[in-house]
Amino acid sequence: MNTVAQAVSIHAKFGASETSFRCGQEIHGQGEPANYIYEVQRGAVRSYKALSGGRRQICAFHLHNDIFGWETGLSYRFTAEAIVDTTVLVVRRHTLEYVAATDVKVTRNLLSLTAKSLEHAESHMLLLGRKNSLEKIVAFLLEMDRRLSCPSVLALPMTRRDMADYLGLTVETVSRDLSQLRASGLLRFLENSQRQIVLQDREKLQGLT
Amino acid sequence: MNTVAQAVSIHAKFGASETSFRCGQEIHGQGEPANYIYEVQRGAVRSYKALSGGRRQICAFHLHNDIFGWETGLSYRFTAEAIVDTTVLVVRRHTLEYVAATDVKVTRNLLSLTAKSLEHAESHMLLLGRKNSLEKIVAFLLEMDRRLSCPSVLALPMTRRDMADYLGLTVETVSRDLSQLRASGLLRFLENSQRQIVLQDREKLQGLT
DNA sequence: CGACTATTTGAGGCGTATCAAGAAGTGTGG
DNA sequence: CCACACTTCTTGATACGCCTCAAATAGTCG
Three-class SS of B108-139: HHHHHHHHHHHHHHHHHHHHHHHCCHHHHHHH
**Å separating the CA of residue B172 from the C1' of nucleotide D23:** 13
Percent of chain B with pLDDT over 70: 94
In the prediction, which pLDDT does B56 show? 97
Nearest protein residue to the C1' atom of C17, measured from CA: A170
What is the residue-averaged pLDDT of chain A? 93
In the prediction, which pLDDT does B193 show? 94
Mean pLDDT confidence for A85-111: 93
CA distance B52 to chain A (A): 9
Q: First CA to last CA across chain A, in angstroms?
A: 29
> How would you class A206 by CB atoms within 10 Å of its CB: exposed for 0-12, middle for 13-18, buried for 19 or more?
exposed
pLDDT at A139 over 50: yes
In the prediction, which pLDDT does B141 show? 98
Q: Verify whether the Cβ–Cβ distance A51 to B168 is below 8 Å.
A: no
Cβ within 8 Å of B, A 145-174: 165, 167-168
pLDDT at B4 over 60: no
- Between B145 and B102, residue with greater pLDDT: B145
**Å separating the CA of residue A135 from the C1' of nucleotide C13:** 21
pLDDT at B123 over 80: yes
Percent of chain A with pLDDT over 70: 94
Nearest beta carbon to residue B72 from set A104, A112, A130: A112
In the prediction, which pLDDT does A91 show? 95
Confidence of residue A1 (pLDDT cuts 50, 70, 90): very low
pLDDT at B17 over 70: yes
Confidence of residue A15 (pLDDT cuts 50, 70, 90): confident
pLDDT at B8 over 50: no
Q: Verify whether the Cβ–Cβ distance A107 to B111 is below 8 Å.
A: yes
Q: Which nucleotide is nearest to B133 (CA to C1')?
A: D18
In the prediction, which pLDDT does B15 show? 78
Helix, strand, or coil (residue A168): coil
H-helix or E-strand spanning residue A197: strand A193-199
Mean pLDDT confidence for B124-139: 98
What is this structure's pTM?
0.94
Confidence of residue A206 (pLDDT cuts 50, 70, 90): very high
- Between B48 and A12, residue with greater pLDDT: B48
CB-based contact, B208 to chain A, within 8 Å: no
Mean pLDDT confidence for B109-133: 97
Q: Is B54 left (phi over 0), alpha (psi -120 to 50) or beta?
A: left
Q: Verify whether the Cβ–Cβ distance B118 to A118 is below 8 Å.
A: yes
Mean pLDDT confidence for B124-144: 98
Residues of chain B positioned with their CB less than 8 A from the CB of A108: 107
Confidence of residue A168 (pLDDT cuts 50, 70, 90): very high
Q: What distances in angstroms separate CA A62 from CA A16, A110, B129, one per listed residue?
A: 18, 17, 19
Task: Check whether residue B202 has its CB closer than 7 Å to nucleic acid strand C.
Answer: no
Q: Which of A61, A111, A124, A125 to mutate to test the interface with B (most CBs of B within 10 A)?
A: A125
Mean pLDDT confidence for A94-113: 91
pLDDT at B170 over 60: yes
Percent of chain B with pLDDT over 90: 88
Confidence of residue A74 (pLDDT cuts 50, 70, 90): very high
- Between A41 and A8, residue with greater pLDDT: A41
> Regarding beta strands B67-68 and B17-21, do their DSSP bridges make them parallel or antiparallel, or are they unpaired?
unpaired
Neighbouring-strand partners of residue A17 = A90
Residues 6+ apart with CB under 8 A from A43: A21, A82, A83, A84, A85, A86, A87, A88, A157
Residues of chain B positioned with their CB less than 8 A from the CB of A49: 122-123, 125-126
Mean pLDDT confidence for A82-95: 95
In the prediction, which pLDDT does B19 show? 96
In the prediction, which pLDDT does A16 show? 87
For B38, list phi and psi in degrees, rounded to 5: -125, 155
